[in-house]
Amino acid sequence: MTPAKREQFFDRLAAAIPDPRSELEHATPFELLVAVVLSAQATDKSVNLATAKLFPVANTPAKIAALGVEGLEAYIRTIGLYRGKARNVVALSSLLLEQHGGEVPRTREALEALPGVGRKTANVVLNVAFGELTLAVDTHVFRVSNRTGLAPGKDPLEVESRLMKVVPTKHLRHAHHYLILHGRYTCVAQKPLCYRCPVYEQCGFGEKRKFAAMDPAKPKAPRATLPKQVRKAKARAPRSR
C-alpha cells in the first residue's frame, strides 16, 4: 500500500468512525487496566457484564486486594479463564499498592511488570488512559493490517512496528481503535463485508470483489427456468433404468 493510499485509508476510517473509543466500560485507568486484563480471550461484552457488577463494589487496588481471589472469582466466573485472571488482578492490585502508591503506572516497563499484563495490554492502557501514541495489535488489528496490505507482518510485534512507521501522524492517536472497530464490524474474519467497506478502494485484499458481490441488499438475478412446454415434456419422458 502506497503512502497516499494509507493516508486515504485512515482519512476514510476517521470519517466512518467519528467517535473512536474503547468498548470496554471504564471510568478510571485502574478500571481500564482490570477490564483489559479480563478481556484476554473473551469478548468485551462479557467483560462489561461482569465489571458492571464488580466495579460498584470494588474498583480500586485496595478494594480488589481486600476482595481476594475467591471473592473476585464470584464476579468474573462468566468470563473465560476466570481463575487465572482473578489471581492476576488481585496480584497486580497488591503490587500497585506496594510499588506505585495505588496508581496505574504510565510507563510500558512498569505496566508489563504487573501480573497478567503483556505488551498489548500495556499499549491499550497507555493509549486509552494516558493518550500515548501506542498501537495495540489484537486479532482484529493483525487481520486488517495483513489482509488489506496496510502493514503486513508474521506476528503482532512485527505488525505493530510497521504500523508505527506507516500510520500518518495525525491518525496515530486513534489508529488502534479505527483498526479494531473496522475489523470487528466490517473486515470480519470469515466473510468480510466488503460491500459496505469505507476503504474498499484503498484495500489490497485479493478477494474483495468476490465478497463485495455478496451484498444482501443487492437484487439477485432470477434463476433460469425452462419453458413450461419443455418442463412438461421432460416430466412425461420415461426414465432410463
Residue 169 host element (H or E): none
Report how far residue 100's alpha carbon sits from residue 93's, in angstroms, rounded to the nearest whole number: 10
11 counts as catalytic: no
Map out the domains of the chain with their CATH numbers. 29-129 (1.10.340.30)
Predicted TM-score of the model (pTM): 0.83
Residue pLDDT, tens place only, 20-54: 999 999 999 999 999 999 998 899 999 999 999 99
Residue 27 host element (H or E): none
Residue whose entry in the numeric block shows the C-alpha cell 510507563: 107
Report how far residue 188's alpha carbon sits from residue 95's, in angstroms, rounded to the nearest whole number: 38
Report how far residue 179's alpha carbon sits from residue 87's, in angstroms, rounded to the nearest whole number: 31
Catalytic member of 138, 218, 232, 234: 138
- How large is the C-alpha radius of gyration of the chain? 24
pLDDT in tens, the chain (241 residues): 889 999 999 999 999 999 899 999 999 999 999 999 999 889 999 999 999 999 999 999 999 999 999 999 999 999 989 999 999 999 999 999 999 999 999 999 999 999 999 999 999 999 999 999 999 999 999 999 999 999 999 999 999 999 999 999 999 999 999 999 999 999 999 999 999 999 999 999 999 999 999 888 776 545 545 555 655 555 565 554 4
Cβ count within 10 A of residue 17: 19
Which stretches within 100-227 are classed as H helix? 108-112, 119-124, 139-148, 156-166, 175-185, 208-212
120 counts as catalytic: yes
Catalytic member of 45, 85, 120, 208: 120
φ, ψ (nearest 5 deg) of residue 174: -115, 5
